[in-house]
Amino acid sequence: MVLADLDTVALDVSATAIRQMGVPVHTVQCDVTSPRDCAELADAAADELGGLHGAVLAAGYAHHVALLEMSVREWTALLDVHLTGTFLPLQALARRMDSGGSVVCLASTVAHVGGPPRQAHYVAAKAGTLGLVRAAARELGYRGIRVNAVSPGFTDTAMNSGIFTEEERAARAARSPLGRIAVPDDVAGAVAFLLGDDSGFVTGHDLRVDGGASLN
């Protein structure tokens, strides 16, 4: 496995956890908004693994600001990471998938339902990600490359910790017919399915992992 992140501390933490499961990990520091970094990541991954057959694109960060107060800098910074930061590695990695492969991009259910206030830039970026997935699936199919998205609902991750109160988390859990919020393993299972052979004839699809919350 090749793992990439801009934050080297977080990268080391994640790599250590994966290695403890018995999986060898090669790490690469990468800024997903840099075409050069993404090209170097693709080359390093292909060399390390002896070819590329699967990739998960999940770079992102949380930032909340009211639409009427949002600066161009705040808008652009978030879209650079979430949307351009999906396009650039997708392009670079797909170029190195010589014998087909599967790319899974992390989107969000907010792309469908609009999301809470103060996240207009995030909603726009994730809606753009779904458009990119559909366009890439159409264009790359002739190369045997499948491109899909996983759209989680609210998930109990470090990115969300400290941003939402316990009352807000409880309210989100109550919206799901399953009565809870997602945990990372819920999302990982969906990603693994789309990477694997069981989804070999699935492309251009968005798999929602929200416990049915978007039904409401």
Round to whole Å and give the CA distance between 193 and 186: 11
**Residues 6+ positions from 36 with CB-CB distance below 8 Å:** none
* CA dihedral sign, ordered 183, 79, 206, 2: negative
Active-site residue, 61 included:
no
Instruction: Check if the beta carbon of residue 23 is closer than 8 Å to that of residue 17.
Output: no
Hey, how many other C-beta atoms are within 10 angstroms of the C-beta on 113? 16
Largest CA distance in the chain: 49
Closest by CA to 145, choosing from 77, 213, 204, 94, is 94
Marked catalytic residue, from 122, 124, 190, 194? 122
Round to whole Å and give the CA distance between 43 and 181: 37
Closest by CA to 184, choosing from 92, 69, 56, is 56
**Residues 6+ positions from 68 with CB-CB distance below 8 Å:** none
Catalytic residues: 122
